[in-house]
Structure 1
Amino acid sequence: MSFELRVKSLIEEKQLIQQDDHLLIAVSGGVDSMALLHYFVQTKDKWGIKVEAIHVDHMLRGEASAEDRAFVQRYCDNHEIYLHAKAIPIPEIMALENGNTQLICRRERYQYFKEVMQKINASKLVTAHHADDQLESVLMALTKNATINSMQGIRPQRFFAGKSLIRPFITVTKSEIREYLLRQGLDYREDASNFKDTYVRNRFRHHVVPLLEAENPRVTEQVTHFTEQLQEDDAYLMTLAEDVFSRTVKKLDENTYSMEIEAFQLVPLALQRRLILILLNYLYKDSNTIQSYALLASILKLCDTTAGYAEVHLPEEFLAVRRYGKLSIQKKEPLEGQTSPEKKIISTANGWTTLTNGERLCVVKLPDLSSELLTDTAQLFYFNASKLKLPLYVRTRKEGDRMLLKGMDQPKRLSRLFIDEKIPLNERNSWPLLISPSDEVVAVIGVRMGMFFSNTPQPNDDTVLIVD
């Protein structure tokens, strides 16, 4: 099968693109991203989509970085593609933070991607990850943290900035991508840092992968099949585990969970692991914590028996306790003098409220809405304050939360909404919800707004919620 047909097949199989999508394509100027951009420039009319490009200059390679940007700009000008570009002073940020260069670059790059996506209302961010990246990721996971999650590698699609991030090249190799670009008669830029062994991924790429390819030239293809099967199997097992979780684990309050150990022991070990993974997703936001093998093993060990008392101290002041045949996970009691954080109140008197995910909320009366309150990324949602009374407040989800959406007779469970909107499991329990005075969920910030809100002012609307 040709390169173009393989990419088209993946897009159709995984439904990565729909008609009228607005794609924002991340382009560095390298062979992979230039091929990605050119593929969609050539096929955008067939797919019925709009295409724009985005480029970040990390300012790490002096004049070479600036030339990368100019190179991408020339291509976009020649093909009438709008390019969003920004130079980010990574050396200055590193000097202030003294952090990992790659992590800082990634954080700043994706923050810019998010800003532009919101500004232009793009439906999808597109990156040029390919099958060689998949192989390297699996090998790195195998040597560092070989959990079920990490071994699944890079997925073709994931949730990002309230929309989607897609990787249409994830099943094709770098050599296939290079051959495609050369057939098109196009050039690309080479980043000199790719040849250095400074970074872990480069060491795998330069030294480990060639050994595997010498044993089996199709090793990249084999790993691609392996990750696809693992992702499919895990998705099915997680569906079973979530059903068992709802019947086995009780949520007593925001930070307390309990289950009968005997009931847990009756569950197959493969589902036991996933029950704990779901529980960790409720407790933590950090994916490294959630995927910690040591943490998983320590909680499983507590459930080996129903006899006696035992406890395990978990990250972020949580405590797992075995007592009287039950496992309880709870937040440790705060030290004397410490208090729990207050609810974030959203009202016309409070001005801007910043949430833990960086979003800002502000409620104003419609006559008071002014341009000073609005930025390029601000979203406006209108409502009638006699129907949705103030003040509103923000919290994370509780067991049984539901939200009534426009056009629906019955409220929808948030657990189902998060699945439908492809919110990552490890983000669901920390996702900010907008709550009415009667403790009703009226909006999932950045995902869906409930029935009270409209994108345009209705005749009786007198108040507006600004999300930025």
Structure 2
Amino acid sequence: MKVDTEGWSENNHVVLAVSTGIDSMTLLHQLISHLKHSYAKLTCLHVNHQIRSVASEEEAFIKAFCATHDIPLYVHHLDLSSVVAKGNSIESEARHARYQWFDEMMLELNADVLLTAHHLDDQIETIFYRLMTGRSTRSSLGMSQHTLRGHYSLYRPLLTIAKSEIHNYQKRYQIPYYEDETNAENHYVRNDIRNRILPEIEANRHLSTEQLLKLKDWHDEQLKVIRNEAYQFIDNSIEFCQQNTKILISRSQFLNLRHAVKMAVLDKVFEIVSLDRPITEKTYDEWFKQLAENIAQTTLYTTDKWIIHIAYDKFIIMANYEAKLQPTKINQQGIYNFGHYTIQVTKHVPLDCFPLVVRTRKDGDKFALNGRAGHKKVSRLFIDEKVIQSERDEIPIIVNAHNEIIAVGTLFLKQNYEQLIFIRNTGEEWNYER
């Protein structure tokens, strides 16, 4: 059994995630026998999920094994009782918790490479699972042999080795291991695939599960093309403003993209802004439908941190500012900040105009028209200038001591004040004309 050692070097601190099952114990045997000169240091990590009755026995076994072979071992106990009590599947929760601990330990140990014992049969099972559960559209169809996880590498050196080879190696060297009895319980989806569905496919002489590996290679090549197209669109057609707290996308240009590219664009953008939760493909489809309809403005999605909405010809992702801008009183000349606007009040502003108040809009706000009789509602100005809903709540309204609106952001400035007050939008993404 030839283990792929391309993922680490003789200078690396290698860490093995060992479960005491046949796969990880076989890999551990390889590392301490045939491959002991391929790394500088070896450490083992073991997670006790505290669910199976033999979990404590397995923990004692791996502790004794590592002590005998002088291998540093760290054990972590998971508490999944709340997940079990709710009747939820523990597979996803357990995996997330395991890797969270692995991340912490790799940093603490200052280690280079984490090894797991996933093999070829696991790969085929994963491909089938992702295909049949609809998880193949936006990610690789199977597991990668090498993955970067921030400060360390995750490597799967057995990924091209069949389970039968692992069994043969174990028998040859009589490697001790524990068999997880839950592997035979088909109410777990992956177990059902492994124990029932894939063997049925292999039993048919016209079918071969290894065809899934060819499909993975083709799929991943296409995924790379899609992502490259998406990244080009992001580089050339998306504005990242105000330190990535506001992202502007041309609605028409976005709609011209292929469906898969649209999803790849948003996946990458949300990765850049660290959106707090993943967006489902079904939700994406709903957004794309609304983008294509004749809707001037609508909010698609809101969290406590982000707002995603349509505004005229823009598709916008922006930070959700919880606190509304508070009114500011100006008693003298100077430069003042209001949200992402700067307001310069010169020394030539008449004294009877002070104090000036800078605030956001109010219902019923009106201003006197320049050079014409009558007034206009601020809300009507916003509509005429196609100001998006969220921006309307940030534009500064300047009121003088006579309770007259003399400025509405960069949209309107009373003629008498044109050389006295200067307003600039430092966000720079909106180019309104006064």
Which secondary structure state, in structure 1, belongs to the residue aligned with residue 35 of structure 2? helix
Task: Note the C-alpha offset of 1:30.
Answer: 0.6
Give the structure-1-normalised TM-score. 0.60
The answer on whether the counterparts of 1:138 and 1:150 sit within 8 Å (CA) in structure 2 is no
Q: Give the counterpart of 2:61 among 71, 76, 83.
A: 71
CA RMSD of superposed structures (Å): 3.3
CA distance in 1, matches of 2:93, 2:253: 45
Task: Note the C-alpha offset of 1:208.
Answer: 1.8
Asked if residue 39 in structure 1 is aligned to residue 30 in structure 2, the reply is yes
Match of 2:183 in 1: 194
CA distance in 1, matches of 2:81, 2:252: 56
Asked if residue 295 in structure 1 is aligned to residue 286 in structure 2, the reply is no
Task: Note the C-alpha offset of 1:22.
Answer: 0.8
Match of 2:70 in 1: 80
Match of 2:394 in 1: none
The answer on whether the counterparts of 1:141 and 1:150 sit within 8 Å (CA) in structure 2 is no
Asked if residue 258 in structure 1 is aligned to residue 245 in structure 2, the reply is no
What is the CA deviation profile of residues 218-251 of structure 1, one whole-angstrom value per residue up to 9, with x for unaligned ones? 8443323332443344234323421221111112
CA distance in 2, matches of 1:105, 1:270: 30
CA distance in 2, matches of 1:210, 1:76: 35
Match of 1:54 in 2: 45
Aligned residue identity for 1:148: T
Match of 1:22 in 2: 13
Match of 1:181 in 2: 170
Task: Note the C-alpha offset of 1:66.
Answer: 2.4
Match of 1:325 in 2: 313
Task: Note the C-alpha offset of 1:303.
Answer: 4.4
More relative contact order, 1 or 2 (CA 8 Å, 6+ apart): 1
CA 1:162 to 1:197, structure 2 compared with 1: closer, same or farther past 3 Å?
A: same
Higher CA-based Rg: 2
Which secondary structure state, in structure 2, belongs to the residue aligned with residue 53 of structure 1? strand
Which secondary structure state, in structure 1, belongs to the residue aligned with residue 153 of structure 2? strand
What is the CA deviation profile of residues 72-109 of structure 1, one whole-angstrom value per residue up to 9, with x for unaligned ones? 234334433222234x2536565898864334433443
Question: How many pairs align?
Answer: 324
CA distance in 2, matches of 1:162, 1:80: 26
Which secondary structure state, in structure 1, belongs to the residue aligned with residue 286 of structure 2? helix
The answer on whether the counterparts of 2:287 and 2:300 sit within 8 Å (CA) in structure 1 is no
Asked if residue 311 in structure 1 is aligned to residue 301 in structure 2, the reply is no
Unaligned stretches of 5+ residues in structure 1: 339-468
Q: Give the counterpart of 2:79 among 90, 94, 101.
A: 90
CA distance in 2, matches of 1:217, 1:53: 43
Match of 1:113 in 2: 102
The answer on whether the counterparts of 1:147 and 1:293 sit within 8 Å (CA) in structure 2 is no
Report which stretch shifted further, 116-125 or 138-147.
Answer: 138-147
CA 1:256 to 1:302, structure 2 compared with 1: closer, same or farther past 3 Å?
A: farther
Aligned residue identity for 1:250: E
Matches within 5 A, 1:23-422: 23-62=14-53, 64-86=54-76, 88=77, 90=79, 94=83, 100-150=89-139, 152-160=141-149, 162-215=151-204, 219-253=208-242, 254-285=244-275, 289-290=278-279, 292-304=280-292, 307-309=294-296, 311=298, 313-314=300-301, 316=303, 318-331=306-319, 334=322
What is the CA deviation profile of residues 275-309 of structure 1, one whole-angstrom value per residue up to 9, with x for unaligned ones? 2322333455456x24x21122233334446x542
CA distance in 2, matches of 1:167, 1:218: 27
CA distance in 2, matches of 1:220, 1:37: 28
CA distance in 1, matches of 2:269, 2:37: 44
Give the structure-2-normalised TM-score. 0.65
The answer on whether the counterparts of 1:302 and 1:310 sit within 8 Å (CA) in structure 2 is no
CA distance in 2, matches of 1:161, 1:216: 44
Which one has a larger percent helix, Structure 1 or Structure 2?
1
What is the CA deviation profile of residues 396-433 of structure 1, one whole-angstrom value per residue up to 9, with x for unaligned ones? xxxxxxxxxxxxxxxxxxxxxxxxxxxxxxxxxxxxxx
Q: State the identity as a percent.
A: 26
Task: Note the C-alpha offset of 1:156.
Answer: 1.5
Aligned residue identity for 1:326: K
Task: Note the C-alpha offset of 1:20.
Answer: 0.8
Task: Note the C-alpha offset of 1:117.
Answer: 2.1
